[in-house]
């Protein structure tokens, strides 16, 4: 019997090695230098008929002992390949499609798994063709895919494991983290972080009005109207006010933020492609949903799936090049890659409007939690995240203070019991893209508990 078990184990081990070899990426079109780390691209089964594309990059330092980090972009419906190719991954693209090694890649300190979720996003797919899904099922699918990763790469089971999620990842990250923390899968789970995340629709909407006014985007006349119609002697309610005049004023404020040509992801960055006559940005679908505001019909982007003001042309063309798809082991039957899937976004069912219950559960565990924000993002602004963390009523351990990168103030940080809130000065929505050096420093500070 023992011999039988040993034989089965050996077969399983050989199968894992063979699969790793199949998924190993041996060359990348456009890359002229040889990376000093292994990386893999393939598929993880996330449930019946669901296959999530992953790209796993080993650490440049010590893969066997360095932490393992799962990275999830948001949307809902946006690809984590943006995280790899434009944010904190080791391979970045120039406008001409040439690939270069990112000097600020997070795999300098960790093994990083980039996962496209849910099915229909990026190169991920479902054999049923049904892409209607909601928050609870996405968490379950991500959990299944993660368990499949450890089957595929069993040597990483012992590594410290962290979840990092961005934007609508404010829902993805904590909901997955709760499943990991409460589940039976053998995962050495140590903590999670959310960057510019959607943690509370109410706080995100409420704070955006203040953000817009105090950044000079609203006229005094509009600010006076907002205070007159939406506020009483005690407080203001911009989020779900039943007063029609208040709703009209909020509509006017939101119009100034998202519909006149500002880059909602970075107030002080340019809007790529210029100012269109009408606008559509994927993350604005998360703003003021209570009122069901509608603006003009969207202007079609020249590149499918790319939000207005964002430059993802090089990534789009490079990932859809046949030689690149072959190098990444993407079957020819799989759909073309898009930054954000309108199919998934349109069908997506938002269930979790406030992530407080997830944090309350996870704060009871021995975990390291970080909420960080670029401070000039308007899609998920820093003030709403700050209010969210403060609302968790954790004991303040170290007060709000500056943190540093290259002997310059890089932002501000407040440490509470078991959770930290941090801003990145001058950064927009995608912190590792807009501020790569400070973002890497923040990542290292998080891992070493040395803010």
In a domain, 421, yes or no: yes
363 and 242 assigned to the same domain: no
Give the chain's domain count: 2
**Shared domain check, 153 and 37:** yes
Which of these is catalytic: 39, 53, 92, 429? 429
Residue pair 93/99 in contact (Cβ under 8 Å)? The answer is yes
> Is 112 strand, coil or helix?
strand
444 and 371 in a single domain? The answer is yes
| Rounded Cα gap, residues 187 and 425, in angstroms | 34
Residue that finishes a domain, picked among 307, 324, 339: 307
Residues 139-158 pLDDT 10s: 999 999 999 999 999 999 99
Residue 262's contacts (CB-CB under 8 Å, 6 or more residues apart) are: 217, 256, 271, 309, 378
pLDDT at 381 over 90: yes
- Same domain, residue pair 131 and 49: yes
Considering the candidates 59, 117, 167, 200, report the single residue annotated as catalytic: 167
Same domain? 244 vs 300: yes
Return all residues near 155 (Cβ < 8 A) that are at least 6 apart: 64
At residue 415, does pLDDT exceed 60? yes
Judge contact between 429 and 397, C-beta under 8 A: no
Domain annotation covers residue 5:
no
CA 406 to chain centroid: 26
Q: Give me the pLDDT at residue 180, please.
A: 98
Q: Which pLDDT does position 95 carry in this prediction?
A: 85
Q: Could you give the CA distance from residue 68 to residue 91 in angstroms, rounded to a whole number?
A: 18
Distances (CA, A) of 66 to 89, 106, 163, 176, 435: 16, 11, 14, 22, 23
Percent of the chain with pLDDT over 90: 82
Same domain membership, residue 85 and residue 186: yes
Domain C-terminal end among 249, 282, 307? 307
- Please give the Cα distance from 209 to 238 (Å, whole number): 8
pLDDT tens digits for 299-350?
545 666 666 677 778 899 999 999 999 999 999 999 999 999 989 999 999 9
**Rg of the chain (C-alpha set):** 22
8-state DSSP, 85:
I
Global pTM? 0.91
Q: Is 23 a catalytic residue?
A: no
Q: Would residue 219 be called left, alpha or beta, if left means φ above 0 and alpha means ψ between -120 and 50 degrees?
A: beta
- Both structure tokens of 311: 């430059």
Spatial distance between the Cα atoms of 387 and 384, rounded to a whole number of angstroms:
5
- From the list 107, 53, 97, the residue with the least C-alpha distance to 79 is 53
Residue 334 counted as domain residue: no
The CA distance from 77 to 285, in Å, is 12
Residue 327 lies in a domain: no
Asked whether residue 164 falls in the same domain as residue 234, the answer is no
Write down the residue that tokens 């269930």 correspond to: 351
Average pLDDT for residues 245-269, to the nearest whole number?
Answer: 92
- Do 236 and 151 belong to one domain? no
Q: Please, are residues 116 and 123 in contact by the beta-carbon 8 Å criterion?
A: yes
Please determine, for residue 103, whether its predicted confidence score (pLDDT) is greater than 60.
yes
Do 178 and 47 sit in the same domain of this protein?
yes
The reply to whether 215 and 150 lie within a common domain is no
Residues facing 236 on adjacent strands = 231
Q: Do 150 and 42 lie in a common domain?
A: yes
Instruction: Determine whether 167 is an active site residue.
Output: yes
Last residue of a domain, one of 282, 307, 332: 307
* pLDDT at res. 301: 52
341 in any annotated domain: no
Please give the distance of CA 441 from its chain centroid, rounded to a whole number.
18
Q: Is 426 helix (H, G, I), strand (E, B) or coil?
A: coil
Structural domain contains residue 214: yes
Residue 319 covered by a domain: no
- For the stretch 160-203, pLDDT in tens is 999 999 999 999 999 999 999 999 999 999 999 999 999 999 99
Q: In percent, how much of the chain has pLDDT > 70?
A: 89
CA distance linking residue 257 with residue 127, whole number of Å = 40
Q: In this model, does residue 7 exceed pLDDT 50?
A: no
Q: Tell me what pLDDT residue 276 has.
A: 58
d(CA 431, CA 439): 6
- For 223, other C-beta atoms within 10 Å of its C-beta total 17
Place of tokens 């909420």: 371
DSSP states of 312-362 as a string? -HHHHHHHTSHHHHHHTT--TTSPPP-SB-HHHHHH-B---SB-HHHHHHH
Helix pair 201-214, 382-390: axis angle to 10 deg: 130
From 66, 141, 205, 377, the catalytic residue: 377
Length of the chain: 451
Q: How far apart are CA 69 and CA 162, in angstroms?
A: 5
The domain spanning residue 298 has which CATH number?
3.40.50.1820
- Catalytic residue at 233? no
Strands 111-115 and 50-57: antiparallel
In a domain, 392, yes or no: yes
Structural domain boundaries enclosing 392: 23-199+352-448
Q: Are residues 47 and 170 in the same domain?
A: yes
Say how many C-beta atoms besides its own lie within 10 A of residue 128's C-beta.
10
Q: CA dihedral in degrees (235, 238, 240, 243; nearest 10)?
A: 90
């Amino acid at each position: 019997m023992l011999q039988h078990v040993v034989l089965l184990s050996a077969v399983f081990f050989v199968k894992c090695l063979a699969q790793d070899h199949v998924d190993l990426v041996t060359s990348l079109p456009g890359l002229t230098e040889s990376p000093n780390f292994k990386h893999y691209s393939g598929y993880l089964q996330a449930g019946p008929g669901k296959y999530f594309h992953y790209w796993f990059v080993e650490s440049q330092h010590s893969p066997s002992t360095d932490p393992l980090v799962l990275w999830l972009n948001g949307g809902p419906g946006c690809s984590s390949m943006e995280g790899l190719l434009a944010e904190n991954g080791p391979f970045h693209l120039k406008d001409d499609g040439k690939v270069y090694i990112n000097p600020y890649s997070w795999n300098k300190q960790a093994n990083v798994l980039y996962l496209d979720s849910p099915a229909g996003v990026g190169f991920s797919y479902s054999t049923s063709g049904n892409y209607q899904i909601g928050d609870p099922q996405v968490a379950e699918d991500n959990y299944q895919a993660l368990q499949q990763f450890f089957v595929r790469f069993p040597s990483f089971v012992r590594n410290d494991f962290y979840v990092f999620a961005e934007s609508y990842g404010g829902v993805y990250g904590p909901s997955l983290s709760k499943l990991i923390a409460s589940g039976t899968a053998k995962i050495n789970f140590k903590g999670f972080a959310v960057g510019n995340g959607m943690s509370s629709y109410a706080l995100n909407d409420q704070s955006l009005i203040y953000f817009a006014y105090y950044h000079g985007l609203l006229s005094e006349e509009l600010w006076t109207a907002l205070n007159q119609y939406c506020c009483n002697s005690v407080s203001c309610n911009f989020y779900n006010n039943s007063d029609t005049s208040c709703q009209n004023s909020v509509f006017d404020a939101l119009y100034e933020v998202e519909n006149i040509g500002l880059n909602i992801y970075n107030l002080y960055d340019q809007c790529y492609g210029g100012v269109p006559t009408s606008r559509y940005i994927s993350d604005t679908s998360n703003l003021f949903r209570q009122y069901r505001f509608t603006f003009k019909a969207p202007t079609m982007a020249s590149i499918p799936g790319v939000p207005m003001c964002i430059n993802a042309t090089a990534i789009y063309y490079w990932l859809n090049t046949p030689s690149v798809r072959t190098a990444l082991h993407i079957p020819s039957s799989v759909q073309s890659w898009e930054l954000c899937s309108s199919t998934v976004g349109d069908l997506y069912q938002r269930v979790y409007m406030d992530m407080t219950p997830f944090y309350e559960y996870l704060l009871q565990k021995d975990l390291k939690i970080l909420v960080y924000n670029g401070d000039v993002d308007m899609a998920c602004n820093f003030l709403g995240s700050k209010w969210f963390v403060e609302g968790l009523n954790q004991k303040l351990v170290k007060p709000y203070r500056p943190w540093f990168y290259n002997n310059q103030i890089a932002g501000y940080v407040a440490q509470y019991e078991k959770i930290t809130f941090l801003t990145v000065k001058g950064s927009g929505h995608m912190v590792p893209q807009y501020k790569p050096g400070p973002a890497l420093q923040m990542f290292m500070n998080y891992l070493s508990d040395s803010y």
